[in-house]
């Protein structure tokens, strides 16, 4: 029979670990929404849509084979290295705004990273299948090991923790990938003439806010791992 589960990781303890990262995430999302709403209403002075900005940046880097497609959703923009496709949401694809130019340039930055075999991007792409498995299977294995009072239970819990920890590794690796793409986007827009110098304030506001969301995601992933480690250590004190 399994022993009765004693929840050492109380709700208060969980909040102690997760609340700072959660608040950071909420703040980051609020900044993204505010910046995007503001600068999606301001046209860039060349009148180029996000799709046109991305196409010109890709072509100027010799990436004529990278396709640009419109996808549904809000801020669902991403670059798919597997199919060499840059996918832009409707408000980015067809809008000639400052926000659209910034987001499109950022995603074009990922395509340029891919072409240059930028190592953090290569590593992140390679981790995707394992992380997808570990993100849902890891916590299940961890909880099974946690409720077992036998020595094998600890080993099972540690295995589940390692699986789930890959999500934190993925989030941390994502940081240089996203920050580098943002840096490339800013530099490209400044030198290309697609955005007036006075409009770079809006580009910086949108892209810096978006970058903060990845910092928050990494903090949330790490805080979850720390909470699981705390639960495991308290189990061993029983």
Query: Residue 2: is its pLDDT beyond 70?
Result: no
The CA radius of gyration of the chain, in Å to the nearest whole number, is: 21
8 A C-beta contact, residue 104 and residue 187? no
82 domain-assigned: yes
Q: How far is CA 43 from the centre of its chain?
A: 27
128 or 149, greater pLDDT: 128
d(CA 160, CA 135): 10
Q: What is the torsional sign of CA 52, 58, 60, 65?
A: negative
Distances (CA, A) of 147 to 9, 82, 162, 200, 235: 13, 40, 17, 54, 9
Residues annotated as part of the active site? 107
- Which residues have C-beta within 8 Å of that of residue 113, sequence separation ≥ 6? 121, 177, 180, 181, 184
d(CA 45, CA 142): 54
113 domain-assigned: yes
**Structural domain count of the chain:** 1
61 domain-assigned: yes
> Which three-class secondary structure state does DSSP give residue 88?
strand
pLDDT digits (tens, 9 = 90+) for 178-216: 999 999 999 999 888 888 888 999 999 999 999 999 999
Confidence bin at 7 (pLDDT 50/70/90): very low
What is the value of pTM for the model shown? 0.87
d(CA 27, CA 216): 9
Looking at residue 162, its pLDDT comes to 94
Looking at residue 237, its pLDDT comes to 61
150 or 177, greater pLDDT: 177
150 or 181, greater pLDDT: 181
State both tokens at 19: 């609340």
8 A C-beta contact, residue 134 and residue 220? no
184 domain-assigned: yes
50 domain-assigned: yes
* Strand 67-70, strand 78-80: pairing: unpaired
Which domain, by its residues, includes 207? 11-236
192 domain-assigned: yes
Residue (of 141, 140, 77, 148) closest to 110 by Cα position:
77
8 A C-beta contact, residue 185 and residue 109? yes
d(CA 128, CA 174): 11
111 domain-assigned: yes
**Averaged pLDDT of the chain:** 90
Confidence bin at 234 (pLDDT 50/70/90): confident
225 domain-assigned: yes
For helices 119-147 and 98-115, give the axis angle rounded to 10 degrees. Answer: 90
Confidence bin at 230 (pLDDT 50/70/90): confident
Residue (of 71, 114, 106, 113) closest to 195 by Cα position:
106
pLDDT digits (tens, 9 = 90+) for 70-122: 999 988 999 999 999 999 999 999 999 999 999 999 999 999 999 999 999 99
């Amino acid at each position: 029979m399994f022993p009765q589960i004693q929840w050492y990781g109380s709700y208060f303890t969980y909040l102690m670990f997760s609340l700072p990262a959660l608040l950071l995430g909420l703040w980051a999302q609020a900044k993204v929404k505010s910046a995007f709403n503001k600068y999606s209403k301001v046209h860039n002075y060349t009148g180029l849509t996000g799709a046109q900005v991305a196409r010109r940046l890709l072509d100027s880097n010799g990436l004529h084979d990278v396709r640009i497609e419109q996808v549904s959703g809000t801020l669902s923009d991403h670059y798919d290295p597997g199919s060499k496709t840059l996918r832009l949401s409707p408000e980015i694809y067809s809008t000639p705004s400052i926000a659209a130019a910034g987001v499109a340039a950022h995603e074009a930055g990922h395509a340029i990273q891919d072409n240059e075999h930028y190592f953090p991007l290569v590593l992140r792409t390679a981790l995707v299948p394992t992380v997808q498995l570990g993100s849902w299977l890891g916590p299940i294995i961890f909880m099974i090991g946690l409720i077992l009072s036998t020595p094998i239970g600890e080993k099972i819990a540690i295995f589940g923790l390692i699986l789930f920890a890959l999500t934190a590794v993925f989030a941390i690796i994502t940081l240089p990938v996203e920050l580098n793409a943002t840096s490339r986007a800013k530099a490209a827009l400044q030198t290309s003439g697609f955005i007036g110098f006075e409009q770079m304030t809006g580009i910086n506001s949108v892209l810096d806010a978006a970058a903060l969301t990845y910092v928050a995601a990494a903090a949330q992933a790490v805080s979850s791992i720390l909470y699981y480690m705390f639960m495991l250590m308290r189990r061993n004190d029983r």
